[in-house]
Amino acid sequence: KNHPEKKTHQMSIVRRARTDKYPPKTKLGIPYRFRLRMMDFGWIPREDIVWEKPAGVPFTGKDRFACGHEYLFHFVKNPGDYYFDQSHAKRLYKTNWTDTEETLMADVWHIPQESNKIHPASFPENLVKLPLLCTCPPDGVVLDPFMGSGTTARVAKQFGRNFIGFV
């Protein structure tokens, strides 16, 4: 016979066993675990962007620094054949006091947050726009597995890209 109480008990033991593997207060490195898992599925990481959030999530801890950044990962299936339009990733770089030259942006981005009453952790549209224009061709498809407030879908639609998102 199927006993739902027994199944629930077994699930809690499995869950507890996984969390007991690490001491309390251990930062588990979820973003990089996700990155490694994507590699296990055959995806190749091409870029790790760090978004420095000007106003991080309110933090009340007293035994570590507040987290003021998030990661954006760029994965490809074929490292020799993927879309990257660098014209959207250029910036002016001062080479000395008087001269400037055009160069590609660095991998740490300082983009202001936008207030959003729909979702407390939404990305600003400008944070989505740059990687979308650089890495997704017109009529391409953008995947947002953590759709949240729909910022990625909104920006994709605005620039003629298709999107798949899960809520």
What pLDDT was estimated at residue 3? 52
The alpha helices in 20-124, defined as continuous H runs, are 30-40
Give the number of C-alpha atoms closer than 13 A to the C-alpha of residue 126, restricted to the C-beta side.
Answer: 9
Q: Which of 21-25, 57-61, 144-148 has the lowest mean pLDDT?
A: 57-61
Highest mean pLDDT among 95-109, 124-138, 141-155: 124-138
Which residue type occupies 36? L
